Structure 1
Amino acid sequence: MIAGLSPKRRDPRLLRRLAADSSGVSFIELALVLPVLLTLGLYGTEVAYMAMTNMQVGEIATSVADNASRLGQTDNSSVSPTVKESQVDSVMWGALKEGSSFDFETNGRVILSSLEVDPDSGVQFIHWQRCRGKLDRVSSYGKQGEGKTGKILDGMGAEDHKIRAVPNSAVMFVEVYYHYQPLFGTMFIEDQVFKHEAAYLIRDDRSLNPAGSPYGITGSGSQSPCT
Protein backbone atom coordinates (compact mmCIF):
# COMPACT_ATOMS: atom_id res chain seq x y z
CA MET A 1 0.00 0.00 0.00
CA ILE A 2 1.29 3.48 -0.88
CA ALA A 3 1.62 5.55 2.29
CA GLY A 4 -1.25 8.00 2.79
CA LEU A 5 -3.51 6.48 0.14
CA SER A 6 -6.31 4.09 0.78
CA PRO A 7 -6.90 1.29 -1.74
CA LYS A 8 -9.93 3.17 -3.10
CA ARG A 9 -7.95 6.38 -3.76
CA ARG A 10 -4.91 4.88 -5.60
CA ASP A 11 -4.13 6.58 -8.89
CA PRO A 12 -4.37 3.98 -11.70
CA ARG A 13 -1.94 6.04 -13.77
CA LEU A 14 0.70 5.90 -11.01
CA LEU A 15 0.35 2.14 -10.77
CA ARG A 16 0.75 1.79 -14.53
CA ARG A 17 3.89 3.94 -14.47
CA LEU A 18 5.40 1.85 -11.68
CA ALA A 19 4.60 -1.36 -13.53
CA ALA A 20 6.27 -0.07 -16.69
CA ASP A 21 9.32 1.38 -14.92
CA SER A 22 12.48 -0.66 -15.85
CA SER A 23 15.14 1.73 -14.58
CA GLY A 24 16.30 -0.72 -11.87
CA VAL A 25 16.45 -3.86 -13.99
CA SER A 26 20.19 -3.66 -14.64
CA PHE A 27 20.95 -3.18 -10.97
CA ILE A 28 18.83 -6.18 -10.02
CA GLU A 29 20.42 -8.33 -12.73
CA LEU A 30 23.91 -7.31 -11.55
CA ALA A 31 23.00 -8.19 -7.97
CA LEU A 32 21.85 -11.62 -9.12
CA VAL A 33 24.88 -12.49 -11.27
CA LEU A 34 27.60 -10.78 -9.21
CA PRO A 35 28.10 -13.69 -6.79
CA VAL A 36 28.50 -16.07 -9.74
CA LEU A 37 30.96 -13.77 -11.52
CA LEU A 38 32.92 -13.18 -8.33
CA THR A 39 33.14 -16.91 -7.61
CA LEU A 40 34.31 -17.68 -11.16
CA GLY A 41 36.88 -14.88 -10.99
CA LEU A 42 38.32 -16.05 -7.69
CA TYR A 43 38.36 -19.66 -8.83
CA GLY A 44 40.15 -18.73 -12.05
CA THR A 45 42.72 -16.71 -10.11
CA GLU A 46 43.35 -19.65 -7.75
CA VAL A 47 43.76 -22.15 -10.59
CA ALA A 48 46.12 -19.83 -12.47
CA TYR A 49 48.25 -19.25 -9.38
CA MET A 50 48.35 -22.97 -8.63
CA ALA A 51 49.46 -23.79 -12.18
CA MET A 52 52.15 -21.11 -12.07
CA THR A 53 53.45 -22.33 -8.70
CA ASN A 54 53.47 -25.95 -9.86
CA MET A 55 55.48 -24.95 -12.93
CA GLN A 56 58.00 -23.07 -10.78
CA VAL A 57 58.42 -26.08 -8.49
CA GLY A 58 59.20 -28.17 -11.56
CA GLU A 59 61.75 -25.59 -12.68
CA ILE A 60 63.46 -25.78 -9.28
CA ALA A 61 63.89 -29.54 -9.71
CA THR A 62 65.38 -29.11 -13.18
CA SER A 63 67.74 -26.29 -12.22
CA VAL A 64 69.07 -28.10 -9.14
CA ALA A 65 69.77 -31.27 -11.13
CA ASP A 66 71.42 -29.25 -13.91
CA ASN A 67 73.58 -27.18 -11.55
CA ALA A 68 74.60 -30.22 -9.51
CA SER A 69 75.67 -32.03 -12.68
CA ARG A 70 78.18 -29.25 -13.35
CA LEU A 71 79.83 -29.29 -9.93
CA GLY A 72 83.55 -29.92 -9.84
CA GLN A 73 84.23 -28.99 -13.46
CA THR A 74 87.79 -27.86 -14.03
CA ASP A 75 90.08 -26.85 -16.86
CA ASN A 76 92.87 -29.04 -15.47
CA SER A 77 92.44 -32.26 -17.43
CA SER A 78 95.10 -34.05 -15.36
CA VAL A 79 93.05 -33.83 -12.16
CA SER A 80 89.59 -35.27 -11.63
CA PRO A 81 87.66 -32.66 -9.64
CA THR A 82 85.82 -33.46 -6.45
CA VAL A 83 82.54 -32.11 -5.12
CA LYS A 84 82.73 -29.92 -2.02
CA GLU A 85 80.12 -29.45 0.67
CA SER A 86 80.21 -25.70 0.05
CA GLN A 87 79.40 -26.25 -3.64
CA VAL A 88 76.42 -28.44 -2.84
CA ASP A 89 75.22 -25.86 -0.30
CA SER A 90 75.38 -23.19 -3.00
CA VAL A 91 73.20 -25.26 -5.33
CA MET A 92 70.67 -25.92 -2.56
CA TRP A 93 70.64 -22.28 -1.50
CA GLY A 94 69.90 -21.36 -5.10
CA ALA A 95 66.78 -23.56 -4.97
CA LEU A 96 65.52 -21.68 -1.91
CA LYS A 97 66.22 -18.37 -3.60
CA GLU A 98 64.41 -19.45 -6.75
CA GLY A 99 61.32 -20.33 -4.70
CA SER A 100 61.41 -17.30 -2.40
CA SER A 101 58.37 -15.71 -4.06
CA PHE A 102 56.14 -18.50 -2.74
CA ASP A 103 58.09 -19.24 0.48
CA PHE A 104 59.59 -22.50 -0.70
CA GLU A 105 62.03 -22.67 2.21
CA THR A 106 59.19 -22.93 4.75
CA ASN A 107 56.78 -25.06 2.74
CA GLY A 108 59.07 -27.05 0.46
CA ARG A 109 61.81 -29.66 0.43
CA VAL A 110 64.48 -30.36 -2.17
CA ILE A 111 66.39 -33.65 -2.00
CA LEU A 112 69.54 -34.13 -4.09
CA SER A 113 70.92 -37.67 -4.44
CA SER A 114 74.02 -38.91 -6.22
CA LEU A 115 73.02 -42.18 -7.88
CA GLU A 116 76.12 -44.25 -8.65
CA VAL A 117 77.36 -47.78 -9.28
CA ASP A 118 79.35 -49.38 -6.49
CA PRO A 119 82.71 -50.31 -8.08
CA ASP A 120 83.04 -53.41 -5.90
CA SER A 121 79.59 -55.02 -6.14
CA GLY A 122 78.21 -53.34 -9.27
CA VAL A 123 74.93 -52.40 -7.54
CA GLN A 124 73.10 -49.11 -7.91
CA PHE A 125 73.25 -47.06 -4.73
CA ILE A 126 72.83 -43.54 -3.35
CA HIS A 127 76.38 -42.48 -2.57
CA TRP A 128 75.47 -39.18 -0.95
CA GLN A 129 72.30 -37.20 -0.36
CA ARG A 130 71.64 -33.61 0.69
CA CYS A 131 68.39 -31.81 1.52
CA ARG A 132 67.07 -28.29 2.09
CA GLY A 133 63.69 -26.89 3.10
CA LYS A 134 61.54 -27.25 6.22
CA LEU A 135 58.79 -29.47 4.81
CA ASP A 136 58.84 -32.90 6.46
CA ARG A 137 59.58 -35.19 3.52
CA VAL A 138 62.14 -37.92 2.80
CA SER A 139 63.30 -39.42 -0.47
CA SER A 140 60.97 -41.95 -2.06
CA TYR A 141 64.02 -44.09 -2.92
CA GLY A 142 65.82 -44.23 0.40
CA LYS A 143 68.52 -42.36 2.26
CA GLN A 144 72.25 -42.06 1.75
CA GLY A 145 73.77 -45.51 1.27
CA GLU A 146 70.55 -47.09 0.02
CA GLY A 147 71.35 -49.94 -2.37
CA LYS A 148 74.46 -51.04 -0.51
CA THR A 149 72.57 -51.10 2.77
CA GLY A 150 68.87 -51.79 3.14
CA LYS A 151 66.76 -52.67 0.11
CA ILE A 152 68.07 -53.29 -3.39
CA LEU A 153 67.91 -50.11 -5.45
CA ASP A 154 66.93 -50.76 -9.04
CA GLY A 155 67.50 -47.20 -10.19
CA MET A 156 65.44 -44.10 -9.42
CA GLY A 157 62.35 -42.63 -11.04
CA ALA A 158 59.05 -43.97 -12.36
CA GLU A 159 58.66 -47.72 -12.60
CA ASP A 160 58.20 -47.70 -16.37
CA HIS A 161 61.43 -45.78 -17.06
CA LYS A 162 63.89 -46.20 -14.23
CA ILE A 163 67.01 -44.04 -14.36
CA ARG A 164 70.25 -45.90 -13.66
CA ALA A 165 73.83 -44.76 -13.32
CA VAL A 166 76.65 -46.20 -15.40
CA PRO A 167 80.03 -47.29 -13.97
CA ASN A 168 82.48 -44.47 -13.15
CA SER A 169 79.77 -41.83 -13.49
CA ALA A 170 76.88 -40.47 -11.47
CA VAL A 171 73.35 -39.21 -11.93
CA MET A 172 72.24 -36.14 -10.03
CA PHE A 173 68.69 -37.08 -9.09
CA VAL A 174 66.43 -34.44 -7.55
CA GLU A 175 63.10 -34.71 -5.79
CA VAL A 176 61.22 -31.53 -4.95
CA TYR A 177 58.15 -31.34 -2.71
CA TYR A 178 56.02 -28.28 -2.04
CA HIS A 179 52.98 -27.96 0.21
CA TYR A 180 50.80 -25.64 -1.85
CA GLN A 181 49.60 -22.50 -0.08
CA PRO A 182 46.33 -21.47 -1.80
CA LEU A 183 45.31 -17.83 -2.11
CA PHE A 184 41.82 -18.42 -0.71
CA GLY A 185 42.37 -21.26 1.71
CA THR A 186 40.54 -24.48 0.89
CA MET A 187 37.59 -22.68 -0.68
CA PHE A 188 38.44 -23.98 -4.16
CA ILE A 189 41.54 -26.20 -3.82
CA GLU A 190 42.00 -29.16 -1.50
CA ASP A 191 45.16 -29.45 0.57
CA GLN A 192 47.88 -30.92 -1.63
CA VAL A 193 51.62 -31.37 -2.04
CA PHE A 194 53.32 -30.98 -5.42
CA LYS A 195 56.14 -33.33 -6.33
CA HIS A 196 58.58 -33.06 -9.22
CA GLU A 197 61.67 -35.05 -10.14
CA ALA A 198 64.59 -34.33 -12.44
CA ALA A 199 67.85 -36.07 -13.28
CA TYR A 200 71.07 -35.11 -15.06
CA LEU A 201 74.16 -37.16 -15.79
CA ILE A 202 77.31 -35.42 -14.53
CA ARG A 203 78.88 -33.37 -17.30
CA ASP A 204 82.60 -34.12 -16.88
CA ASP A 205 84.92 -36.55 -15.14
CA ARG A 206 84.46 -36.40 -11.39
CA SER A 207 86.29 -38.12 -8.58
CA LEU A 208 83.45 -40.13 -7.06
CA ASN A 209 85.56 -41.63 -4.29
CA PRO A 210 88.12 -39.03 -3.17
CA ALA A 211 90.62 -40.16 -0.57
CA GLY A 212 89.40 -39.65 2.96
CA SER A 213 85.81 -38.95 1.86
CA PRO A 214 83.77 -42.17 2.08
CA TYR A 215 80.60 -40.40 1.00
CA GLY A 216 82.05 -38.80 -2.11
CA ILE A 217 82.03 -35.17 -0.93
CA THR A 218 85.05 -33.29 0.41
CA GLY A 219 84.95 -30.61 3.06
CA SER A 220 82.81 -30.38 6.16
CA GLY A 221 80.14 -28.29 7.84
CA SER A 222 77.32 -29.06 5.43
CA GLN A 223 74.31 -26.77 5.70
CA SER A 224 72.12 -29.23 3.80
CA PRO A 225 71.88 -32.41 5.87
CA CYS A 226 68.93 -34.77 5.34
CA THR A 227 68.09 -35.01 9.05
Structure 2
Amino acid sequence: MLSTLSRLGRTPRRLARDNSGVALLEFAFGAPLVLMLGLYGIELANQALINLKVSQIALNLADNASRVGLINNANIEQLREVDMNDVLQAARNQGAGINLTTNGRVIVSSLEKDSSGTQRIHWQRCIGQKSGTNYDSTYGTTTTTAGTDTTPANAGTLAPSGMGDAGQQVSAPTNGGVMFVEINYDYKPVVGQWLMSLIGSSSLRIHYIASFIVRDNRDFAQIYNPSPTATRSTCNLYPA
Protein backbone atom coordinates (compact mmCIF):
# COMPACT_ATOMS: atom_id res chain seq x y z
CA MET A 1 0.00 0.00 0.00
CA LEU A 2 2.78 2.41 0.97
CA SER A 3 4.69 1.41 -2.15
CA THR A 4 1.70 2.24 -4.32
CA LEU A 5 1.25 5.62 -2.65
CA SER A 6 4.94 6.32 -3.07
CA ARG A 7 4.76 5.60 -6.78
CA LEU A 8 1.71 7.80 -7.13
CA GLY A 9 3.53 10.57 -5.32
CA ARG A 10 6.44 10.38 -7.73
CA THR A 11 4.23 10.45 -10.85
CA PRO A 12 3.64 14.24 -10.88
CA ARG A 13 7.36 14.83 -10.50
CA ARG A 14 8.11 12.50 -13.42
CA LEU A 15 5.50 14.22 -15.56
CA ALA A 16 6.98 17.61 -14.69
CA ARG A 17 10.42 16.45 -15.86
CA ASP A 18 9.11 14.66 -18.97
CA ASN A 19 9.66 16.78 -22.13
CA SER A 20 8.63 14.20 -24.72
CA GLY A 21 5.98 15.57 -27.12
CA VAL A 22 6.99 19.20 -26.57
CA ALA A 23 7.83 19.66 -30.25
CA LEU A 24 4.45 18.27 -31.24
CA LEU A 25 2.68 20.67 -28.91
CA GLU A 26 4.71 23.60 -30.21
CA PHE A 27 3.84 22.62 -33.77
CA ALA A 28 0.15 22.37 -32.88
CA PHE A 29 0.20 25.89 -31.47
CA GLY A 30 2.40 27.39 -34.19
CA ALA A 31 1.04 25.66 -37.31
CA PRO A 32 -2.10 27.81 -37.66
CA LEU A 33 -0.03 31.00 -37.43
CA VAL A 34 2.55 29.75 -39.94
CA LEU A 35 -0.21 28.61 -42.29
CA MET A 36 -1.97 31.96 -42.02
CA LEU A 37 1.24 33.86 -42.76
CA GLY A 38 1.91 31.62 -45.77
CA LEU A 39 -1.58 32.13 -47.18
CA TYR A 40 -1.28 35.87 -46.56
CA GLY A 41 1.99 35.96 -48.50
CA ILE A 42 0.47 34.07 -51.43
CA GLU A 43 -2.58 36.35 -51.51
CA LEU A 44 -0.49 39.50 -51.23
CA ALA A 45 1.84 38.42 -54.05
CA ASN A 46 -1.06 37.48 -56.32
CA GLN A 47 -2.84 40.77 -55.66
CA ALA A 48 0.33 42.71 -56.48
CA LEU A 49 0.74 40.75 -59.72
CA ILE A 50 -2.87 41.37 -60.78
CA ASN A 51 -2.51 45.09 -60.01
CA LEU A 52 0.59 45.21 -62.21
CA LYS A 53 -1.19 43.43 -65.07
CA VAL A 54 -4.23 45.72 -64.96
CA SER A 55 -2.06 48.85 -64.88
CA GLN A 56 -0.02 47.61 -67.85
CA ILE A 57 -3.17 46.85 -69.84
CA ALA A 58 -4.48 50.36 -69.18
CA LEU A 59 -1.19 51.95 -70.27
CA ASN A 60 -0.88 49.81 -73.40
CA LEU A 61 -4.48 50.46 -74.41
CA ALA A 62 -4.16 54.24 -74.00
CA ASP A 63 -0.90 54.21 -75.96
CA ASN A 64 -2.30 52.07 -78.77
CA ALA A 65 -5.50 54.13 -79.04
CA SER A 66 -3.45 57.33 -79.30
CA ARG A 67 -1.48 56.04 -82.31
CA VAL A 68 -3.83 53.84 -84.31
CA GLY A 69 -5.61 54.98 -87.48
CA LEU A 70 -5.46 55.16 -91.26
CA ILE A 71 -3.25 57.83 -92.83
CA ASN A 72 -4.91 59.34 -95.90
CA ASN A 73 -3.31 61.05 -98.89
CA ALA A 74 -3.26 64.39 -97.07
CA ASN A 75 -1.14 62.81 -94.31
CA ILE A 76 -4.05 63.05 -91.87
CA GLU A 77 -4.88 60.14 -89.61
CA GLN A 78 -8.48 58.97 -89.56
CA LEU A 79 -9.50 56.84 -86.61
CA ARG A 80 -12.00 54.14 -87.60
CA GLU A 81 -14.28 51.86 -85.63
CA VAL A 82 -12.29 48.86 -86.83
CA ASP A 83 -9.14 50.45 -85.39
CA MET A 84 -10.77 50.85 -81.99
CA ASN A 85 -12.06 47.29 -82.14
CA ASP A 86 -8.51 46.12 -82.82
CA VAL A 87 -6.97 47.91 -79.83
CA LEU A 88 -9.81 46.75 -77.58
CA GLN A 89 -9.23 43.20 -78.78
CA ALA A 90 -5.55 43.59 -77.92
CA ALA A 91 -6.54 44.57 -74.37
CA ARG A 92 -8.93 41.63 -74.24
CA ASN A 93 -6.15 39.25 -75.30
CA GLN A 94 -3.67 40.77 -72.86
CA GLY A 95 -6.15 40.34 -70.01
CA ALA A 96 -7.33 36.85 -70.96
CA GLY A 97 -5.25 35.23 -68.22
CA ILE A 98 -7.10 37.17 -65.51
CA ASN A 99 -10.53 37.11 -67.23
CA LEU A 100 -10.41 40.88 -67.57
CA THR A 101 -13.57 41.33 -69.61
CA THR A 102 -15.55 38.78 -67.60
CA ASN A 103 -14.64 40.29 -64.24
CA GLY A 104 -14.18 43.91 -65.25
CA ARG A 105 -15.02 46.89 -67.42
CA VAL A 106 -12.74 48.81 -69.81
CA ILE A 107 -13.66 52.33 -70.98
CA VAL A 108 -11.78 54.34 -73.61
CA SER A 109 -12.68 58.04 -73.88
CA SER A 110 -11.55 60.55 -76.48
CA LEU A 111 -11.04 63.80 -74.57
CA GLU A 112 -10.65 66.63 -77.08
CA LYS A 113 -10.27 70.41 -77.04
CA ASP A 114 -11.07 72.63 -80.01
CA SER A 115 -9.51 75.94 -81.05
CA SER A 116 -11.92 77.92 -78.85
CA GLY A 117 -10.79 76.02 -75.75
CA THR A 118 -14.00 73.99 -75.42
CA GLN A 119 -13.18 70.57 -74.03
CA ARG A 120 -15.41 67.54 -74.52
CA ILE A 121 -15.55 63.81 -74.13
CA HIS A 122 -16.19 63.35 -77.83
CA TRP A 123 -16.88 59.61 -77.80
CA GLN A 124 -16.35 56.46 -75.74
CA ARG A 125 -15.88 52.79 -76.51
CA CYS A 126 -16.12 49.95 -73.98
CA ILE A 127 -15.74 46.23 -73.38
CA GLY A 128 -16.36 44.06 -70.32
CA GLN A 129 -19.36 42.48 -68.64
CA LYS A 130 -19.30 44.32 -65.31
CA SER A 131 -21.75 47.19 -65.01
CA GLY A 132 -23.14 49.70 -62.57
CA THR A 133 -21.54 51.76 -59.83
CA ASN A 134 -17.75 51.33 -59.57
CA TYR A 135 -17.56 49.71 -63.01
CA ASP A 136 -19.05 52.13 -65.54
CA SER A 137 -17.10 55.35 -66.04
CA THR A 138 -17.00 57.70 -63.06
CA TYR A 139 -15.40 60.55 -65.01
CA GLY A 140 -18.13 61.34 -67.53
CA THR A 141 -20.17 59.61 -70.21
CA THR A 142 -21.43 60.29 -73.72
CA THR A 143 -24.27 59.02 -75.87
CA THR A 144 -23.82 55.94 -78.02
CA THR A 145 -23.96 58.07 -81.19
CA ALA A 146 -21.48 60.71 -80.00
CA GLY A 147 -18.62 61.12 -82.43
CA THR A 148 -20.26 59.11 -85.21
CA ASP A 149 -20.78 62.22 -87.35
CA THR A 150 -20.00 65.94 -87.28
CA THR A 151 -23.42 67.20 -86.19
CA PRO A 152 -23.71 69.28 -82.98
CA ALA A 153 -26.03 66.63 -81.53
CA ASN A 154 -23.16 64.14 -81.58
CA ALA A 155 -20.43 66.50 -80.41
CA GLY A 156 -20.10 64.69 -77.09
CA THR A 157 -20.26 65.79 -73.47
CA LEU A 158 -18.67 68.96 -72.12
CA ALA A 159 -15.77 68.26 -69.75
CA PRO A 160 -14.27 71.66 -68.89
CA SER A 161 -12.25 70.26 -65.97
CA GLY A 162 -10.93 67.29 -67.91
CA MET A 163 -11.05 63.68 -66.73
CA GLY A 164 -9.64 62.03 -63.65
CA ASP A 165 -9.77 62.30 -59.88
CA ALA A 166 -10.26 65.70 -58.28
CA GLY A 167 -7.05 67.69 -58.38
CA GLN A 168 -5.46 65.26 -60.84
CA GLN A 169 -7.58 65.78 -63.95
CA VAL A 170 -6.13 65.28 -67.39
CA SER A 171 -6.81 67.92 -70.06
CA ALA A 172 -6.34 67.77 -73.81
CA PRO A 173 -4.09 70.21 -75.68
CA THR A 174 -5.80 72.83 -77.84
CA ASN A 175 -6.76 71.37 -81.24
CA GLY A 176 -5.71 67.99 -79.92
CA GLY A 177 -6.89 65.01 -77.97
CA VAL A 178 -6.09 62.57 -75.19
CA MET A 179 -6.98 58.90 -75.07
CA PHE A 180 -8.18 58.32 -71.52
CA VAL A 181 -8.54 54.71 -70.34
CA GLU A 182 -10.30 53.55 -67.21
CA ILE A 183 -10.30 49.93 -66.03
CA ASN A 184 -12.35 48.60 -63.13
CA TYR A 185 -11.66 44.98 -62.29
CA ASP A 186 -13.22 42.65 -59.72
CA TYR A 187 -10.30 40.87 -58.07
CA LYS A 188 -10.81 37.18 -57.32
CA PRO A 189 -8.77 36.07 -54.26
CA VAL A 190 -6.69 32.92 -54.51
CA VAL A 191 -7.43 31.80 -50.95
CA GLY A 192 -10.81 33.37 -50.32
CA GLN A 193 -12.54 36.58 -49.40
CA TRP A 194 -12.44 35.62 -45.72
CA LEU A 195 -8.66 36.13 -45.68
CA MET A 196 -8.97 39.52 -47.39
CA SER A 197 -11.42 40.60 -44.69
CA LEU A 198 -9.23 39.16 -41.95
CA ILE A 199 -6.19 41.18 -43.04
CA GLY A 200 -8.27 44.34 -43.35
CA SER A 201 -8.59 44.53 -47.14
CA SER A 202 -12.31 44.27 -47.80
CA SER A 203 -12.26 46.04 -51.20
CA LEU A 204 -11.81 43.64 -54.11
CA ARG A 205 -12.11 46.22 -56.91
CA ILE A 206 -8.93 47.16 -58.75
CA HIS A 207 -9.10 50.56 -60.44
CA TYR A 208 -6.56 52.04 -62.86
CA ILE A 209 -6.55 54.94 -65.29
CA ALA A 210 -4.07 55.86 -68.00
CA SER A 211 -3.88 58.57 -70.65
CA PHE A 212 -1.78 59.37 -73.70
CA ILE A 213 -1.82 62.46 -75.91
CA VAL A 214 -2.65 61.76 -79.55
CA ARG A 215 0.71 62.40 -81.18
CA ASP A 216 -0.24 61.92 -84.84
CA ASN A 217 -2.01 64.41 -87.08
CA ARG A 218 -5.44 62.98 -86.31
CA ASP A 219 -8.74 64.11 -87.77
CA PHE A 220 -10.87 64.76 -84.66
CA ALA A 221 -14.06 65.52 -86.60
CA GLN A 222 -15.47 62.06 -85.89
CA ILE A 223 -14.65 58.38 -85.53
CA TYR A 224 -15.12 56.95 -89.02
CA ASN A 225 -16.81 53.72 -90.05
CA PRO A 226 -16.29 53.19 -93.79
CA SER A 227 -17.60 50.20 -95.73
CA PRO A 228 -17.44 47.40 -94.82
CA THR A 229 -18.69 48.85 -91.56
CA ALA A 230 -17.55 47.49 -88.21
CA THR A 231 -19.70 46.92 -85.15
CA ARG A 232 -19.28 49.83 -82.75
CA SER A 233 -18.10 48.92 -79.25
CA THR A 234 -20.38 51.48 -77.63
CA CYS A 235 -20.75 51.67 -73.87
CA ASN A 236 -24.35 50.50 -73.76
CA LEU A 237 -23.01 47.03 -74.63
CA TYR A 238 -21.36 44.66 -72.16
CA PRO A 239 -19.48 42.01 -74.14
CA ALA A 240 -16.86 39.74 -72.61
TM-score normalised over the length of structure 2: 0.78
The one of 57, 61, 79 aligned to 1:60: 57
Give the SS at the match of 2:138.
coil
Give 1:92 shift. 0.8
The 5 Å alignment of 1:19-34 reads 19-34=16-31
Change (3 A) 1:16 1:183: same
The one of 181, 186, 190 aligned to 1:174: 181
Give 1:201 shift. 0.8
Change (3 A) 1:112 1:152: closer
The 5 Å alignment of 1:13-162 reads 18-72=15-69, 74=71, 78-118=74-114, 122-136=117-131, 137-144=135-142, 145=146, 152-162=159-169
Aligned partners of 2:8, 2:166: CA distance in 1, in Å?
Answer: 83
Aligned partners of 1:143, 1:69: CA distance in 2, in Å?
Answer: 19
Contact 1:81 1:206 in 2 (8 A): yes
Q: Gapped runs of 5+ residues in structure 1?
A: 1-5, 210-214
Contact 1:82 1:218 in 2 (8 A): no
Q: Percent identity?
A: 39
Give 1:35 shift. 0.5
The 5 Å alignment of 1:177-188 reads 177-188=184-195
The 5 Å alignment of 1:193-212 reads 193-209=205-221
Q: Gapped runs of 5+ residues in structure 2?
A: 148-153, 197-201
* Count of residues in Structure 1 that have an aligned counterpart in Structure 2: 215
Contact 1:73 1:204 in 2 (8 A): no
TM-score normalised over the length of structure 1: 0.82
Give the SS at the match of 2:206.
strand
Contact 1:111 1:175 in 2 (8 A): yes
